[in-house]
A and B are shown apart, each in its own frame.
Chain A
Amino acid sequence: DTGVSQDPRHKITKRGQNVTFRCDPISEHNRLYWYRQTLGQGPEFLTYFQNEAQLEKSRLLSDRFSAERPKGSFSTLEIQRTEQGDSAMYLCASSRDRDRGGYTFGSGTRLTVV
């Protein structure tokens, strides 16, 4: 297994555009998490899935953000009408139910909104 894959690695977009990121978790992991990390800060939780069900969403996740995990495999995170404040590293992680807290993280997608 190659671990958690995120695509793209970098994305530069103009303010107001929509962007979509993809995460491919480790195949036997049924939990998938999205976090956001800005410079000098720890990762902030956005949302997570158990299989295809989205179980929790942070208050950070405004109406412009949406995440899906069809069929409980890969996941997408879409940001509509991007703002400069959305510039950050978006991290995806996955785990098995029994590995509470033992997440495997991807390398992240760095978003720059200009």
Chain B
Amino acid sequence: GNSVTQMEGPVTLSEEAFLTINCTYTATGYPSLFWYVQYPGEGLQLLLKATKADDKGSNKGFEATYRKETTSFHLEKGSVQVSDSAVYFCAPIFPSGNTPLVFGKGTRLSVIA
């Protein structure tokens, strides 16, 4: 069946460190892939997306590349800031019918100065 697996947190990094949050999926066909972010006290926001293989989504210094061969969509940022502290969710839309976003469990990131 269709599923998404996301790296468990929490992740604690020092400012300017490199960030990777792993996300893999299992699907029949090729999903569209999204990363959402939830800052403390705020609603979920779309961070970036990729809709086909080898696409790279990017926003606010974050990047993720749709890797069909490894069924992955890992989130990366070269130099994190304290303001990046949030919970990050990987969320595919699987290709069957009109299915909505399916969210991973989330990874909490804390960046310390």
1/0 contact string of A94-108 vs chain B (CB within 8 Å): 000000111111111
Q: Does A41 contact B (CB under 8 A)?
A: yes
In the bound complex, what is the Cα–Cα distance between A104 and B105 (angstroms)? 19
Cβ–Cβ contact B44 & A105, under 8 A? yes
Cβ–Cβ contact A42 & B103, under 8 A? yes
Residues of A within 8 A of B104 (CB): 42
Cβ–Cβ contact A45 & B43, under 8 A? no
**How many residues of B sit at the interface, in one of the four size bands?**
20 to 34
Cβ–Cβ contact B89 & A42, under 8 A? yes
Q: Does B100 contact A (CB under 8 A)?
A: yes
1/0 contact string of B75-94 vs chain A (CB within 8 Å): 00000000000000101010
Least CB distance, B45 to chain A, in whole angstroms: 7
Cβ–Cβ contact B43 & A106, under 8 A? yes
Interface centre among A40, A50, A100 (most CB of B within 10 A): A100
Residues of B near any A CB (own CB < 8 A): 6, 32, 34, 42-46, 49, 89, 91, 93, 98-106
Can you list 29 residue pairs at the A/B interface with Cβ under 8 Å?
A4-B43, A33-B100, A33-B101, A40-B106, A42-B89, A42-B103, A42-B106, A43-B44, A43-B89, A44-B103, A45-B100, A45-B102, A50-B98, A56-B99, A91-B43, A91-B44, A100-B93, A101-B34, A101-B46, A101-B49, A101-B101, A102-B46, A102-B49, A103-B44, A103-B101, A105-B44, A105-B45, A106-B43, A107-B43
